[in-house]
């Protein structure tokens, strides 16, 4: 296991954090959001999340549940979130041999199935009895969809806690209810009727001691309540969405552990990179080609880019080709830090010893 609190491990952890806080989209909020997080949760968010996941899964067993899905116009789902969820499911299986259940709204099921196939996973039907069992010779993922009404949604999510018994729960780019119990886009757009209420699920999980990790990029995502009050001091619509009586867009539910990044999928990449480094298992971290394929599959099965608002192979205005390069750059950087290089004589090892 990598010691990320001293020496080279500390450099690896810091490098991942630095990549996560690059303002790739030009929105201009990520530096302030990251500073707000550091006030509440000091230290490398990605690497400490990886440590938490490993310890919890090995001690508890049971699948990981990942919730995602954020609606754009007409309620179609954006590519940010599902891609990260699918690739995290892959990393958890390769790194820890643990299965993942992805939680998403009924009308986005087809999109999520296609996205998971793009990530190199085999989506399997969720078991009727709710119990996840190992399946040999396949990389499984289970997708559990829910209706948007509270009664139907809670029947399913309560059963996940009662019967499926996850080791931990993760949300990525999932709308979080504000102080008034209402959901919004970052710019103040109401999401009434477009999303199921997963806040109830995550609050109950927390109350029962199931660790809750969240990934967000703007402050209106489930779990971002950890920095919600601070967000209201600098994020334009966090305190007031612009519609009388609704309140602001800042999410109220706080995660146990929060990762923030300029794009939520990029935060998932940071967590995957950290898990790979912490386990000292390079195969856990996918390459750029798989990231690109996963984005394209997400779009082919109904996802839209959150900037273009159309079925473009992109995430928050960043093309799939650009994401391919970003992922490869982070992978190559971490390979160099880990000494996985070839010297001038063709020898492998630490470059400092090969010169």
151: exposed, middle or buried (Cβ count in 10 Å: 0-12, 13-18, 19+): exposed
Q: How far is CA 284 from CA 50, 87, 108, 135, in A?
A: 12, 10, 27, 19
First and final C-alpha spacing in the chain: 28
Is 60 exceeded by the pLDDT of residue 354? Answer: no
Compute the average pLDDT of residues 84-104.
Answer: 98
Going by CATH, does the domain composed of 7-354 fall within 3.90.1640.20? yes
**Closest to 168 (Cα-Cα) out of 81, 276, 62:** 62
Amino acid 349: pLDDT = 65
Helix H or strand E segment including 269:
helix 264-279
- Give pLDDT tens digits for 37-62: 999 999 999 999 999 999 999 999 98
Q: What are phi and psi of 305, to 5 degrees?
A: -75, 135
SS3 341: strand
Amino acid 180: pLDDT = 97
Compute the average pLDDT of residues 257-262.
Answer: 98
Compute the average pLDDT of residues 328-345.
Answer: 88
d(CA 29, CA 40): 17
Is 90 exceeded by the pLDDT of residue 188? Answer: yes
- Which residues have CB under 8 Å from 137's CB, separation 6+? none
Q: How far is CA 339 from CA 26, 104, 256, 342, in A?
A: 33, 40, 33, 9
d(CA 349, CA 8): 14
Give me the half-sphere count of Cα atoms (radius 13 Å) on the Cβ side of residue 331.
Answer: 19
d(CA 35, CA 33): 5
H helices present in 97-159, as ranges: 109-118, 150-159
Confidence class of residue 350 from pLDDT cuts 50, 70 and 90?
A: low
Compute the average pLDDT of residues 265-269.
Answer: 98
Average pLDDT along the chain: 95
Give me the half-sphere count of Cα atoms (radius 13 Å) on the Cβ side of residue 87.
Answer: 35
d(CA 175, CA 158): 19
Strands (E), the chain: 64-67, 100-105, 122-124, 140-146, 168-172, 212-216, 257-260, 314-315, 318-319, 341-342, 348-349
**Closest to 80 (Cα-Cα) out of 170, 145, 173:** 173
The dihedral formed by the CA atoms of 264, 9, 287 and 297, expressed in degrees to the nearest 10 = -20
Is 70 exceeded by the pLDDT of residue 319? Answer: yes
Is 70 exceeded by the pLDDT of residue 191? Answer: yes
Confidence class of residue 341 from pLDDT cuts 50, 70 and 90?
A: confident
Q: How far is CA 106 from CA 46, 74, 83, 110, 311, in A?
A: 30, 15, 17, 9, 20
Q: Which residue has the tokens 């199921």?
A: 196
CB 98 within 8 A of CB 280: no
CB 58 within 8 A of CB 96: yes
- Give pLDDT tens digits for 268-314: 999 999 999 999 999 999 999 999 999 999 999 999 999 989 999 99
| Whole-number percent of the chain with pLDDT over 70 | 97
DSSP character at residue 137: T
Confidence class of residue 343 from pLDDT cuts 50, 70 and 90?
A: confident
Confidence class of residue 345 from pLDDT cuts 50, 70 and 90?
A: confident
DSSP character at residue 232: T
Is 60 exceeded by the pLDDT of residue 352? Answer: no
Is 70 exceeded by the pLDDT of residue 342? Answer: yes
Q: Which residue has the tokens 């967590």?
A: 271
**Closest to 145 (Cα-Cα) out of 72, 196, 185:** 196
Is 50 exceeded by the pLDDT of residue 355? Answer: no
CB 301 within 8 A of CB 110: yes
127: exposed, middle or buried (Cβ count in 10 Å: 0-12, 13-18, 19+): middle
């Amino acid at each position: 296991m990598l010691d990320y609190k001293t020496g080279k491990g500390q450099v690896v952890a810091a490098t991942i954090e630095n990549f996560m806080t690059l303002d790739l989209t030009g929105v201009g909020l990520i530096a302030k959001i990251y500073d707000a997080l550091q006030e509440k949760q000091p230290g490398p968010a990605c690497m400490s999340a990886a440590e938490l996941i490993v310890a919890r899964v090995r001690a508890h067993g049971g699948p990981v549940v990942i919730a995602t899905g954020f609606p754009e116009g007409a309620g179609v789902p954006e590519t940010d979130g599902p891609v990260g969820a699918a690739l995290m499911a892959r990393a958890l299986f390769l790194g820890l041999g643990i299965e993942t259940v992805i939680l998403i709204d009924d009308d986005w099921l087809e999109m999520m199935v296609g996205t998971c196939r793009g990530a190199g996973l085999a989506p399997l039907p969720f078991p009727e009895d709710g119990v996840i069992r190992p399946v040999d010779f396949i990389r499984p993922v289970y997708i559990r969809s829910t209706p948007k009404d509270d009664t139907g949604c809670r029947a399913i999510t309560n059963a996940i806690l009662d019967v499926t018994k996850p080791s931990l729960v993760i949300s990525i780019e999932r709308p979080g209810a504000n102080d008034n119990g209402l959901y919004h886009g970052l710019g103040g757009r109401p999401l009434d009727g477009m999303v199921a209420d997963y806040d109830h699920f995550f609050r109950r999980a927390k109350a029962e001691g199931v660790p809750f990790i969240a990934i967000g990029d703007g402050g209106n995502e489930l779990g971002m309540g950890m920095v919600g009050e601070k967000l209201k001091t600098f994020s334009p619509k966090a305190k007031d969405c612009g519609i009388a009586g609704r309140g602001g867009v800042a999410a109220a539910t706080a995660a146990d552990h929060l990762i923030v990044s300029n794009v939520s999928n990029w935060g998932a990449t940071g967590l995957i990179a950290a898990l790979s480094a912490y386990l000292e298992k390079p195969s856990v971290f996918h390459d750029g080609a798989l990231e690109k394929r996963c984005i394209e599959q997400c779009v082919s099965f109904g996802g839209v880019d959150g900037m273009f608002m159309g079925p473009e192979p992109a995430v928050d205005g960043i093309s799939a080709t650009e994401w391919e390069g970003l992922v490869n750059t982070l992978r190559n950087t971490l390979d160099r830090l880990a000494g996985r290089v070839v010297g001038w004589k063709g020898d492998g090892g630490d470059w400092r010893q090969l010169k």
